[in-house]
Amino acid sequence: MKRKNILSRMSYAALGLITHPQDPREFIQVFNPLSSSHYTRGVVTEVHHETPDSATITFTAGEGWASHKAGQWARIGVSVNGRRLWRPYSISAAEDTAPSVTVKARGRVSEALVYGTKPGDILYLERPAGQFLLEISPTALLFLTAGSGITPVMSMLRTLMPRRPDHDVVLIHSSANQESTIFHDEILELADQFPGFKPRFHFTKSLGRLTLREAGQLAALHPDILERTIYACGPDEFVGDIEAAVQEADGNIVVERFDTRLLPSDYSGPGTLVINNGTEITVPENQSILEASENAGTELPHGCRSGVCRSCLVMMSDGAVKNMRTGEMIDEPGMIQSCISRPSPHAILEL
């Protein structure tokens, strides 16, 4: 593996003498869409609709990708009306199989993935990451999931059950109803195949919300729950409640929360700017990020101060800004013009 890397790096360097100033990979891209010196690219191989508003997208990844572990997530970038937008998605495929993500059509990126993706399309990828991982030792497990929280757990079940059929695994999955439940049939099939796997569905439309704030509610849910290693995944509130209850009862829990981002809004009052060295700057109304930072003693690169020359481009890693000239909102990580942008209402800059 290492030798192959050195060889390919050497051949790129040699080719680069002729393709300068472009990287040879940009030329190879004409024939091979997976080739790029800027991104890890992927090609969609299959789109499988799980429910009317969700789909599993399987892809082949190019250079720079690393095989995923069950339970991990990866950031995926797609073009939405010409603009590259990124979201993190849990990987639903078993370990050592072709990577796939299962996406529910909520939000611009997810809608584009569910309704607009076809085999052959290009995906932009970042390496799998995340600490929601299977521990090898315990054999008594309990998965508590809600909504799309089932996706990383599905990867775990698909990986775990064939490998260790002796496991004693309980899954309690909460969702609106059967029709909206991703993997409903596959979960039942897995249970048929592996007697050690016992799934239970909790449909909130008929049974109401599953609340697990106290240890007592846990015991009522499953008798030996606190003797098991618990994995919880789902919306912030759902996971937070379970975690508090399990900790209160001295149980063993691993959790994955859905990414809670700074909520962007079309906003005109004072904004907050955070710079990666920890500096926090309040940006008054009618002031640009550039002006406010200078007033606060932080120098940012700049040129014409009128939005023409683009010398003031800085990396926004999170949050949102509003273009003061056009009113356009940018709520995705990327380069922004500090001289004509203001936080809306929060922006984090990487300098």
Give me the residues that bind other proteins (CB under 8 A), please: 17-22, 26-27, 29-30, 36, 38-39, 79, 81-85, 303-304, 306-311, 313, 325-328, 332, 334-335
Q: Torsions phi, psi of 84, nearest 5?
A: -75, 120
Q: CB of residue 311 vs other proteins: minimum separation in angstroms?
A: 6
Q: CB of residue 306 vs other proteins: minimum separation in angstroms?
A: 7
The SS3 of residue 146 is strand
Question: Closest Cα to residue 346, out of 299, 280, 292?
Answer: 280
DSSP state of 235: S
CA distance 154 to 149: 9
CA distance 127 to 158: 21
Between 7 and 309, CB nearer to other proteins? 309
**Burial class (CB within 10 angstroms; exposed 0-12, middle 13-18, buried 19+) of 205:** exposed
Q: CB of residue 301 vs other proteins: minimum separation in angstroms?
A: 11
N- to C-terminal Cα distance for the chain?
Answer: 34
Between 84 and 198, CB nearer to other proteins? 84
Between 259 and 328, CB nearer to other proteins? 328
Q: CB of residue 80 vs other proteins: minimum separation in angstroms?
A: 8
Question: Closest Cα to residue 89, out of 155, 45, 145, 38?
Answer: 155
Q: CB of residue 277 vs other proteins: minimum separation in angstroms?
A: 21
Q: What Å distances lie between residue 244 and 130, 169, 233, 235, 239, CA to CA? A: 21, 22, 14, 14, 9
Q: CB of residue 309 vs other proteins: minimum separation in angstroms?
A: 4
Between 36 and 54, CB nearer to other proteins? 36
Between 4 and 38, CB nearer to other proteins? 38
Between 236 and 328, CB nearer to other proteins? 328
